[in-house]
Amino acid sequence: MTATDPHRAIDAVFRIEQAKLIAGLARMVRDVGAAEDLAQEALVAALEQWPKSGIPDNPGAWLMASAKHRAIDLFRRNKLLERKHRELGYELEIEQGMGEPDFDGMLDDDIGDDLLRLVFTACHPVLSTEARIALTLRLLGGLTTEEIARAFLVPEPTIAQRIVRAKRTLSEKRVPFEVPSGDELASRLSSVLSVIYLIFNEGYAATAGEHWIRPQLCDEALRLGRILGELAREEPEVHALVALMEIQASRFPARTASTGEPVLLLDQDRARWDQLLIRRGLAALARAEALSTTSKHAAGPYAVQAAIAACHARATKAEETDWARIVGLYGALSEITPSPIIDLNRAVALAMLFGPEAGLEVVEALTEEPALKTYHLLPSVRGDLLRKLGRFDEARAEFERAAALTRNERERKLLLDRAASCG
């Protein structure tokens, strides 16, 4: 074994335990930034000791014990030991040598509650959307600042500043480390879900760069969604978002050619879709629908989007797709969250159901939408419909305009190739 092998193993263990560690410490110190610092100090201690002593049987408990010892030192330095004595009594007994540490008992039984608190804290609306995403990936995803910067094609110092400012804002605003209740829970849960959704979407169709998909981001979003699904078992939209991500992720093996070029949905080899992820997604959707029925709440936006994805997943061939149902679902989604992008997607479905003229009629009306002026998929869809109608010169111009608007290199090449195919 080389000298770096133990360090790699320790790093892998820390990534697994990091979120639980920070969550438990944040409940103690009531400060996410301080909790992360304590967790990092515990990692340093592990890097010093484990290569000599070996990785403990319960590494998470070891790290928590080490971090809690440092928390005691922190309180002592801040002259807060007396006020915290009751909370830290057990750790003080260990510190004073009154007994051997019970590493198996060091992790609290309510670690699930702690993780849920950490999710809601990292995604607090007091932070900007960009800050929520960066902090969530850092604290809960375990990604390094460099990895987050690389994933979003943002300079590393920018991501580092976002994370530092986010932690400082949470501290200055005295954001409580808790799961909200009542009406606030619904609004805060919406923030949490939107962060996970944005992370997944950036991985599913990267807005910029040389790669069309970034599987690592999708994997992180899926992992966070699954964790949230276990922690918030009775929330239908949580399971609906997980369903949507599972089904969308199932297409990854077929979404790119061997050269990395994008393969559009209707051209994909559906035999390559991951059937396990589809089954997981359909099961999560069924659970979301059952919870909505029980609570007598109408389906939310993620449930409707998951139902649309399920229509595609159930069709073994593109021509078997239930476009009538998809048109209806997009109509329902537009009522829940009105958006010209949803209308554009509905136009595509209408074209598949009734022909390109029906879709083009909707698209033409959307060309006046200010929100879509720089949205490259509007001219892309329009170009596709014009090509199907034999209006090749117009179609070529639209594909070229779409190529000029996108910041993703793979997508730009695809659009230019489509423009060239128009003659």
Query: Is residue 44 in a domain?
Result: yes
The pLDDT value recorded for residue 127 is: 93
Query: Is residue 31 in a domain?
Result: yes
Query: Is residue 91 in a domain?
Result: yes
- Is the confidence at residue 4, as pLDDT, over 90? no
Query: Is residue 46 in a domain?
Result: yes
Query: Is residue 72 in a domain?
Result: yes
The answer to whether residues 359 and 348 touch, using CB atoms and an 8 Å cutoff, is yes
Q: Could you tell me how many residues make up the chain? A: 423
Nearest Cα residue to 188 out of 113, 114, 110, 121: 121
Q: 171 versus 8: which is more confidently predicted?
A: 171
The pLDDT value recorded for residue 119 is: 86
Q: 186 versus 194: which is more confidently predicted?
A: 194
pTM value?
A: 0.79
Mean residue pLDDT across the chain: 86
pLDDT, tens digit (0-9, with 9 covering 90-100), for 219-244: 888 988 998 898 888 899 999 999 99
Exposure b/e, 337-375, CB count within 10 A at least 16 = b? eeebbbbbbbbbbbbbbeebebbbebbeebeeeeebeeb
**pLDDT level of residue 82 (50, 70, 90 thresholds):** low
The Cα 176–Cα 277 span in angstroms is 36
Average pLDDT value for residue range 20-39: 86
The answer to whether residues 189 and 179 touch, using CB atoms and an 8 Å cutoff, is no
Tokens for 362?
Answer: 């909707």
Q: Which residues contact 127 (CB under 8 A, 6 or more apart)?
A: 135, 166, 169, 170
Query: Is residue 414 in a domain?
Result: no
Query: Is residue 87 in a domain?
Result: yes
Least confident range of 46-50, 101-105, 383-387, 415-419: 101-105
One-letter identity of residue 279: R
- DSSP letter assigned to residue 266: G
Give residue for tokens 């659970």.
Answer: 287
pLDDT, tens digit (0-9, with 9 covering 90-100), for 143-154: 788 888 877 778
- Helix, strand or coil, per DSSP, at residue 407: strand
The pLDDT value recorded for residue 94 is: 44
| Number of domains into which the chain is organized | 1
The Cα 339–Cα 334 span in angstroms is 6
pLDDT, tens digit (0-9, with 9 covering 90-100), for 108-143: 444 567 888 888 899 899 999 999 999 988 888 777
**pLDDT level of residue 254 (50, 70, 90 thresholds):** very high
Q: Which residues contact 200 (CB under 8 A, 6 or more apart)?
A: 217, 218, 221, 222, 225, 245, 248
- Is the confidence at residue 213, as pLDDT, over 90? no
Least confident range of 88-97, 243-252, 295-304, 357-366: 88-97
The Cα 240–Cα 198 span in angstroms is 15
Query: Is residue 209 in a domain?
Result: no
One-letter identity of residue 115: L
The pLDDT value recorded for residue 104 is: 41
Domain that holds residue 63: 4-99
